[in-house]
Amino acid sequence: MSKKIRETTKSEIESLLDNSVFTKYAFNIEYNNSEQAIFKVVFTSTPVYSFEVTYSPQMSRSYVGKKDLVYHVKCSPGKYFNEVSIVEFKTFEEVLSHIGIWTTRIFNELREGKVSLSHFQNTIDELKRDFEERIRNNEGNDKGEYFSGEQVDEYKNKLDDILAKMRELKGELELNKSELEKVKLEFDKLKECIEILPRETWLRSAGNKMIDLMTSFAKSEIGQKMISSSVKGFLDI
């Protein structure tokens, strides 16, 4: 039977991802999705990059008849190769500390250009298709409906998180001060009208605006990956 993760541990995992070079919106997290699986993290813009944790009991070397848990981490990219590597840990704390190592590997791979640049355009095209499909599926359901106070705060926080990460990585993203200011102004406009516009109208406007900003400012490959992942998380696609 799969070990159930506490909510505080889930928050810790999200915090570790959010404090990496990316944001937590760059990843999809699944908990207890199969027997003996604890959690799995996928880098959404490049799904071959994943971090999956399982466990198995093994006979203790210290106490006869006692079984210890061993945690297995399957992650890609691995230490030396892009293929999945498997690492074993004796404590869950060691598992969590390995998340930062894994996200750094992804960053280094993107920075060194190991991921095809053509994948970015495919990501953009897929993002546009998914976004339009979401709007079509919700047409009629959201018509005339407005965001709740909680939803307003959530979307404003997401915008703030993306802007903060862009500022932190402005060198890697190859953004200058005026470009960052333009992003901030556009985000401020979105935040100002979120309580005025119906939900469907705001989402359509925000989604297209985010995609436009992404394609305008994502010059470097690491920038393309970071921003596209953030946008997908922002739109909850």
> What are the pLDDT digits (tens) for 130-173?
777 776 776 555 566 888 999 999 999 988 988 888 888 777 66
- Tell me the pTM: 0.51
Contacts of 16 (CB under 8 A, 6+ apart): 96, 99, 100
pLDDT tens track, the chain, 237 positions: 557 888 999 999 999 998 888 888 889 999 987 777 899 999 987 888 999 999 887 654 554 455 678 999 999 988 887 778 899 998 999 999 999 999 999 888 877 664 455 556 666 777 777 777 776 776 555 566 888 999 999 999 988 988 888 888 777 666 778 778 888 998 999 999 898 888 888 888 888 787 777 666 665 666 666 666 766 676 664
CA distances (Å), origin 237, targets 12, 116, 134, 162, 207: 23, 23, 8, 16, 11
Closest of 29, 31, 37 to residue 2, by C-alpha: 37
**CA–CA dist 104, 178 (Å, integer):** 28
CB atoms within 10 A of CB 89: 18
- Burial track 106-132 (b if 16+ CB lie within 10 A, e otherwise): bbebbeeeebeeeebeebbeebeeebe
